[in-house]
Structure 1
C-alpha cells in the first residue's frame, strides 16, 4: 500500500492535512458570500463557479469533519477505557466554541448593525437555526452545539450497554437513514428552509463523520483496508464533484439526498487527504490553505465584516472607471484579506488564550498510539 503509515504533526500539535481540509471548507464559504464584479468573461465565470456555488457544501464539509474529529474524542476514550467522561468533553467544547462565539454576539450588540430582536435571544439560546438570526452564518454553529450534547449522551449509552464497534456503526447508520427519511419528507412537504437548517434534518452529515471516526479508532484494520482503496476513494470524491456541478442546483435533490451524498464524498476526501497528500504537503499553496484552516473558526465567525468594505470598493471602482477585470480581482482579494485578518486576530486574541486556560484546567487525556495522534490533537 502507498498510503501514509503516519501523519506529520507540526509543533503546535495540529495535523496539517486536516487543517488543509478546513481551509478548503472556509474558502468555499467565503467565496459564496463575498461580492464580485460582473465581468462577462467565461474564464472568470469558470473561476468563480466553485466559489459562488459551493459555499453551503463548505458547511457540509465542516459538519463531516467535525463529526470525525469531535466524535473521535469520545470514541477514543471508549475504545481505550470502555467509558467516556461526558462532563469533561462538554466543558472542553465550551472553552473551544463559546468565547469567540459570544465575543461576536457582543460585538453586534455594541455595534448596533442589527436590531437585537433579530439575533440576540436566538443566538444566546443556540436556537438560531430554528428561530432565525440576522447574523446568518451562526445557524450551523447551533447544529453543532446540539450535536455536542446529543453525541456524548449516545456514546454514554453505548458504554452502559457495552456496545461493540460493529453495533455502533449499524446504530449510527440507522440514525442516518432516519434523518435522511425525515429530511426527504420535509422537502416533499415544501419545508426547504427547515430541511437545510434544522438539526434533526442535518445531523446525518455529522453522524457520517462519527462513523468514520468509529472505524478510525475502533476498527483500525478496516480503516487500513478502506484507506488502501485509493481508486475507490478517488471515484467517490469524483462522483461527489459531478453531483455538485450538475445536480446541486436542483434544490429538491440537494436538500433531500444531496446532503447525504456530499457527506459520504467528504468522508472519502478526508481519508484521501490524510493518507495521500504527503507528496504535495510541502507545496506553498497546500500550506497556505492549511494555514487558513488553522483560523477557520474565527474566519467563519467574522468573515461577514468583509462584505461592507467589498461593496464600498466595488462602487468606488465603478465610479472611478477602474477596468472591470482589475476591479473584480481587487474586490475579491480585499474581501478575503479582510476576512482572514479579522479571523486571525479574533483567534489569536480570544480563541487561543481560552484554549490555553482550558488546557491548564482540563488537560486532554492522551492514550492514543503515535499514528493516531494527529486526528485527536487537531480535534481537542
Structure 2
C-alpha cells in the first residue's frame, strides 16, 4: 500500500486510501453545514444536492471508519499477544483527542460566542450528546469518547475467555442487533433526537467497523476473499448510494435501520478504496481529498467558525448587487477555504505537537506487522473526532 508523504512528521505511515475516505466524509460534512446563496440555476442545485443531503451520512462514515481504525489498534495487539493494553490505549487516545478538543472549548469560553451554560460543563464531561451543546458539532465526539472506553472493556472481557475471531465477531454482531433493536424502539416511540444523538443508539456504526477490523487482523484469508469480490463491493456501494438518495429523506426509516445499512455499505467502501484504488491514487482529486483527510479532525472541530464570514459575504454580495451565481461561488469557496485553513493551522499548532509528545512518552509498543498481512500497516492510520 502506498503511503502519504510530504505532510509532516505526524503523518508518517498514514494510508492515503483511508485519508481519502476521511476527506470524503469531512467534505460532505462541511458542505452540509455551510450557508449558500440561492441562485435559481438547476445545475447549482445538482452540485449542492449531495452536500446538503448527506452531511449526517458523513458523520456515519466517520463512525464506521473510526471503528475500523481505532478498533484495529486493539485487535492487532490482541491478535499478536492475546491481551489488550487498555491503559496505554486510553492514554494515547487522550493525547490524540483532548488537546485539540479542549483548545476549541477554551477558545469559545474566551471568545464569548456562546454562554458558558450552553456548552461548558456539557463538553468538559463529554455528555453533550445527552444534554445538548451550543457547539453543535461536538455531539459526535462524545459518542466516540464513550466508545473508546466501552471497546477496551469489552475486548478485555472477551480476551479473558480466550475468544477467537469468530466468537468475537459473533458477540459484536449480537451487540449490533441489540443496538439496532433499541434504536428502532426509540424511533417507534418518536424519540428521533435520542436515536440520532445517544451513544447507546449509535454504537452499531462503530461496532460494525470493529467487526471489519477483526476480519482484517484475525482472519486475513477471509479479508482476501472479500476484497477479491470487486464486483460485489461495487454493487454494495451502489446499493448504499441508492439508499442515500431514496431512503434517507424518510427520517424515521433512516434513523432506525438506515444507520446499520449505511455502516455495512461504508465497510464495502473502505474495502474497495483500500484494495482497488489503483491509478486513482495519483489523481489530483484523490490526493486532494486525502490531504483534506489528514486535517479532518481539526477541520471538523473548527469549521463552524466559517459560518459567520459566510453570512457576512451573503449579506455583502446581496447589498452590492453581485449576481447570485458569482455570489454563490464566492460564499461557498470562502467557507471551505476558511474552515480548511483553520483546521490546518490548529492541527499543526496543537494536534501534531501533542502526537510527537505522545510518541516520546508513550511510544507504540506493538510488534511490526508481518509481511504477509494484507496491506500491512493500513490499520495503523488513525481517525478521531468525527463527526
TM-score computed with the length of structure 2 as normaliser: 0.95
Aligned to 2:92: 92
Aligned to 1:8: 2
Cα separation, 2, equivalents of 1:327 and 1:275:
41
Aligned partners of 2:68 and 2:379 also within 8 Å: no
Cα separation, 1, equivalents of 2:121 and 2:97:
18
Cα separation, 1, equivalents of 2:2 and 2:155:
29
Cα separation, 2, equivalents of 1:222 and 1:365:
27
Cα separation, 2, equivalents of 1:169 and 1:377:
20
SS of 1:103's equivalent? helix
Aligned partners of 2:72 and 2:380 also within 8 Å: no
Deviates more, 1:247-256 or 1:9-18: 9-18
Q: How many residues align?
A: 374
Aligned to 1:365: 365
Q: Deviations over 1:144-172 (max 9, x none)?
A: 00000000001111211100100000111
Aligned to 1:290: 290
SS of 1:106's equivalent? helix
Aligned partners of 1:237 and 1:266 also within 8 Å: yes
Aligned partners of 2:96 and 2:351 also within 8 Å: yes
TM-score computed with the length of structure 1 as normaliser: 0.97
Deviation at 1:30, TM superposition (A): 0.2
SS of 1:379's equivalent? coil
Aligned to 1:375: 378
Cα separation, 2, equivalents of 1:95 and 1:376:
19
Q: Deviations over 1:306-351 (max 9, x none)?
A: 0000000011000101111111111000000000000000000000
Cα separation, 2, equivalents of 1:292 and 1:347:
12
Cα separation, 2, equivalents of 1:95 and 1:289:
25
Aligned partners of 2:281 and 2:287 also within 8 Å: yes
Aligned partners of 1:21 and 1:293 also within 8 Å: yes
The reply to whether residue 55 of structure 1 matches residue 49 of structure 2 is: no
Cα separation, 2, equivalents of 1:122 and 1:369:
43
The reply to whether residue 309 of structure 1 matches residue 312 of structure 2 is: no
Cα separation, 1, equivalents of 2:33 and 2:72:
31
Q: Deviations over 1:177-222 (max 9, x none)?
A: 0000000000000000000000000000000000000000000000
Cα separation, 2, equivalents of 1:333 and 1:291:
17
Cα separation, 2, equivalents of 1:266 and 1:172:
17
Q: CA RMSD in A?
A: 0.9
Deviation at 1:8, TM superposition (A): 1.2
Structure 1 residue runs of 4 or more that deviate by more than 6 Å after TM superposition:
none
Deviation at 1:372, TM superposition (A): 4.2
Deviation at 1:84, TM superposition (A): 1.1
What pairs up with 1:115-264 in 2 under 5 angstroms?
Answer: 115-264=115-264
Deviation at 1:373, TM superposition (A): 3.6
Aligned to 2:104: 104
SS of 1:281's equivalent? helix
Aligned partners of 1:122 and 1:132 also within 8 Å: yes
Aligned to 2:8: none
Cα separation, 2, equivalents of 1:250 and 1:160:
43
Cα separation, 1, equivalents of 2:112 and 2:202:
31
SS of 2:282's equivalent? coil
Aligned to 1:325: 325
Cα separation, 1, equivalents of 2:64 and 2:380:
17
Aligned partners of 1:9 and 1:374 also within 8 Å: no
Aligned partners of 1:37 and 1:328 also within 8 Å: yes
SS of 1:332's equivalent? helix
Q: Deviations over 1:229-270 (max 9, x none)?
A: 111111111111001111101011010001011000001000
Cα separation, 1, equivalents of 2:258 and 2:133:
25
